[in-house]
Structure 1
Amino acid sequence: MQSNAYDVVVVGGGMVGAALALALKTQAQLSVALIEQDPGSEHWPNTDLAAYPTRVSAISRASENLLKNLGVWSWLLEQQQLYPFVGMQVCDADMTGEVHFDAMDIDEPNLGHLVANQAIQMALWHGLRQHGITVMSGQTITALSVDTEWAEVGFANHAPLNAKLVVGADGAFSKVRQLAGIGLDQHDYQQIALVGCVQTQADHQQTCWQRYTPTGPFAFLPMAPKISSIAWYMPADQQAWAMSLSKDAFHQQLYQASAGHLGEIVDSWERASFQLSRRHAQAYVKPRVALVGDSAHTINPQAGQGVNLGLLDVASLVDVIIQAQIALDDPMIFDPGCFSLLRQYERWRRGDNALMQRAMEVFDWGLGQQAGLLNQVRPELMKLANIAQPVKNKLMREALYGRQPFPRLTQH
């Protein structure tokens, strides 16, 4: 192997990139370098976690199993960062149509866990440090070239790295995707999501609650007793207004958006907002290059589910690599950047991710319509859906475990 060379270079040390680097090292026994542009990552993992985080994810059972198999779930447990939810309630704007989901109906202890994004990332970085994975902090890639045997990653102020495979896990505006010349299909929803933590008068009973309004959904995501993460969707032109509201005015607006579901808003903490867009890379792979997570796709992030798709990408890519290793008589000649191998990963994940993108859009449209025949019949349709227990059970299981075939890392 060349000097300054690795089997895989992963660009981006967020939740998905860190999970991939850790999985490739511990499960596939490959040499890995992780590139993270944040110079502060030199001091990660940082255990000074926000008490009231702005960004949380609803971690599915598949993602939970992956984090357990990577040995980092216990760190989240020790840091008291896991908030299980046992139910989910979805309703339309005037509260005449509702659908309830309950973990007991499918003999599961819960329907997932709410976990702060920062906590997941730090847990994975704890694993990276434990396993001595090479990390380059404060570096941004400036060049990417590929030949028949190697890819070379260039930097502004560091010697280039060589790798058999370069994986872009560097987010929606992926530099790897751009340098690889992979096109992007995108649609701007003209919406923003405002997020943060609030304390409510009534307890959430460990139930996610989502109401669809004419301007977008509003959700309570249960964390500590009487503490919820909120996701408040609104037209993009209301972003400045919502972010500048005084605390009292903000609480009143939240009370109205939630129709007083959990009573008065008692307190709130830091809020953040971000634009919503659907993006889908026109390819997930090129020779010696692959994309995972937001580099490959972004989704309307209903109820904090987006990271689960990225972690399924990780599990699927690692699965394909391990199966290819097993099939070889001589592991010394294994090439993780082999294009036919990478195409297996793309065929596994790209269609499923596209299906999920469209399904979320249809769901959002169907529950948000406020005029026409659909608005008139929706309450009855939702009542029918609420008593269709086999259908609800199938939806809950797919939300927890994903669709078959299940990658091995997502199985317990």
Structure 2
Amino acid sequence: MSNRVIIVGGGLNGAALALALASTGQPSLLVDALPPETRADPAFDGRAYALALSSQRMLAALGLWRELAGKAERIAHVKVADGRPNSGVCGPHLHFNADELDGEGAGFMLEDRHLRQALLAAIAGQKLITHLAPAKVVTQNSGPNTASITLDDGRKFEGALLVGCDGRASAVAARAGIARQGHDYGQIALVCALTHEKPHNGTAYQLFLPAGPLAILPLKGNRCSIVWSESASRATAIAALDDADYMAALRPVFGNFLGEISLCGARFSYPLSLTLATELTRPRLALVGDAAHGIHPLAGQGLNLGLRDVASLAEVISDATRRGEDIGGALVLARYARWRRSDIAANSIVTDGVNHLFSNDNPILRAGRSLGLGVVNAWPGLRRYLMAEAAGLHGTLPRLMQGQAL
């Protein structure tokens, strides 16, 4: 079937792209290196995502939100502060209230397991999606009319377009000769989930500590997900501790504003870097999600940025199909690259700049940061603008991110 789209990478972005394409009648082949039972594991492992309002609208447009709504925690407030260990939010800070966006909120917190399960269930019910898992691509080629892949078991497949959704170390990008640029932050993110004594009231916290940002994100019940960025050397040492000593290291950083805290689920650690593909497309090839861009996790924009890639590429392909164009042709792919380039660049620059500005204990910079947060907090128009930006409501939004069908 040469008119189908071959998607390499069965994670969140790859699965969402297959479903978005299927909603338009476009067939796809989804190649996943992991077995379905691994993806569908129902155990809570501590991982969760901050879904921007535009990403939630996209999931609703794809028919997934009805199942997910009861499992998601609405982000009612966001508090941003230049903090110190054990202090929580104190002094000048920035407070976003969901009611400032017509009561819709900035977005939702959703556990990884729930999103994965919803995507897999939807894929299983879609005849236009051929799901190969586990399967590994070993070679790929782009010809004048088709793209092709060969799996490690010798099977070969052709399609009109090959899409790499295979993460920061994208083999699809590497085989195509697409280089990457960026730098290491010298930080490692420690990720886990906590139970706490006091209710969070739907409040997300972004605390900028000298060694790196600490995000405290509300989950259903008296639970939260944390992304704790520390210097690489200290984070490596903390990650090697047992659970009791890990919590002993975390408590002074976290503070006691939510009462007693305890670990729930697994612990993870991720080296932090900025890594950008120098090209989003090549002949009959496009990159999506972390395969195209890996940014700092502060503000939780990584998945949202990837879903905007998905929505944009699906719309470009859908519109090209209606016009009778070759969906893997150079002109079609150029539209996708042109649409996504500025958004990716802006998010990369902002997250990179904010991390460098706040990840230090310079007293002069600290005073300036506190003053700036206080000034922005006192300016309602600017505060609403920044909240709408975080909710993914600015720019030329793809139809799916407006809650519309393709």
**TM-score, length of structure 1 as denominator length:** 0.92
Show the counterpart of 1:25. Answer: 22
Distance 1:269 1:118, change over 3 A: closer
Instruction: Mark the runs of 5 or more structure 1 residues left unpaired by the alignment.
Output: none
Which one-letter code corresponds to 2:10 in the other structure? G
Partner Cα distance (2:340, 2:362) in 1: 36
Show the counterpart of 1:76. Answer: 68
Distance 1:107 1:6, change over 3 A: same
Partner Cα distance (1:253, 1:44) in 2: 31
Check whether the contact 2:206–2:213 (CA below 8 A) recurs between aligned residues: yes
TM-superposed CA distance for 1:187, in Å, is 1.0
The SS at the match of 1:401 is coil
Check whether the contact 1:97–1:378 (CA below 8 A) recurs between aligned residues: no
**TM-score, length of structure 2 as denominator length:** 0.93
Show the counterpart of 1:309. Answer: 305
- 1:58 is the counterpart of 2:78: no
Show the counterpart of 2:156. Answer: 160
Show the counterpart of 2:240. Answer: 244
Q: Of 111, 115, 133, which aligns to 2:110?
A: 115
Show the counterpart of 1:128. Answer: 123
Cα deviation code 1:360-385 (max 9, x no counterpart): 12222233332153223322222111
Show the counterpart of 2:87. Answer: none
TM-superposed CA distance for 1:131, in Å, is 1.0
Show the counterpart of 1:269. Answer: 265
Cα deviation code 1:295-341 (max 9, x no counterpart): 00011011432100000001111111222223x2xx4xx42101111
The SS at the match of 1:108 is coil
Show the counterpart of 1:339. Answer: 330
Partner Cα distance (1:73, 1:96) in 2: 38
Show the counterpart of 2:174. Answer: 178
TM-superposed CA distance for 1:251, in Å, is 2.5
TM-superposed CA distance for 1:249, in Å, is 2.9
Which one-letter code corresponds to 2:42 in the other structure? L
Check whether the contact 2:78–2:205 (CA below 8 A) recurs between aligned residues: yes
Check whether the contact 2:82–2:366 (CA below 8 A) recurs between aligned residues: no
- 1:90 is the counterpart of 2:87: no
Show the counterpart of 2:33. Answer: 37
Partner Cα distance (1:215, 1:239) in 2: 10
Check whether the contact 1:285–1:291 (CA below 8 A) recurs between aligned residues: yes
- 1:16 is the counterpart of 2:9: no
Taking only the aligned residue pairs, the percentage that are identical comes to 32
- 1:291 is the counterpart of 2:283: no
| Mean Cα deviation higher: 293-302 or 377-386 | 377-386
Check whether the contact 1:208–1:219 (CA below 8 A) recurs between aligned residues: yes
Distance 1:44 1:236, change over 3 A: closer
- 1:368 is the counterpart of 2:359: yes
Which one-letter code corresponds to 1:216 in the other structure? G
Distance 1:352 1:202, change over 3 A: same
Which one-letter code corresponds to 2:114 in the other structure? A
Which one-letter code corresponds to 1:211 in the other structure? L
Check whether the contact 2:209–2:359 (CA below 8 A) recurs between aligned residues: yes
Which one-letter code corresponds to 1:25 in the other structure? A
Q: Of 215, 221, 241, which aligns to 1:219?
A: 215
Check whether the contact 2:210–2:358 (CA below 8 A) recurs between aligned residues: no
| Mean Cα deviation higher: 208-217 or 288-297 | 208-217
1:252-267 equivalent positions in 2, closer than 5 A: 252-267=248-263
Q: Of 228, 233, 237, which aligns to 2:229?
A: 233
Partner Cα distance (1:54, 1:298) in 2: 21
The SS at the match of 1:158 is coil
TM-superposed CA distance for 1:64, in Å, is 0.8
The SS at the match of 2:391 is helix
Check whether the contact 2:212–2:358 (CA below 8 A) recurs between aligned residues: no
TM-superposed CA distance for 1:255, in Å, is 2.1
Show the counterpart of 2:350. Answer: 359
Show the counterpart of 1:101. Answer: 96
Partner Cα distance (1:376, 1:246) in 2: 37
Partner Cα distance (2:262, 2:293) in 1: 37
Instruction: Mark the runs of 5 or more structure 2 residues left unpaired by the alignment.
Output: 85-89
Cα deviation code 1:112-132 (max 9, x no counterpart): 111122321221111111112
TM-superposed CA distance for 1:24, in Å, is 0.9
TM-superposed CA distance for 1:254, in Å, is 2.1
- 1:196 is the counterpart of 2:192: yes
Partner Cα distance (2:20, 2:390) in 1: 23
Which one-letter code corresponds to 1:250 in the other structure? Y
Partner Cα distance (2:359, 2:183) in 1: 18
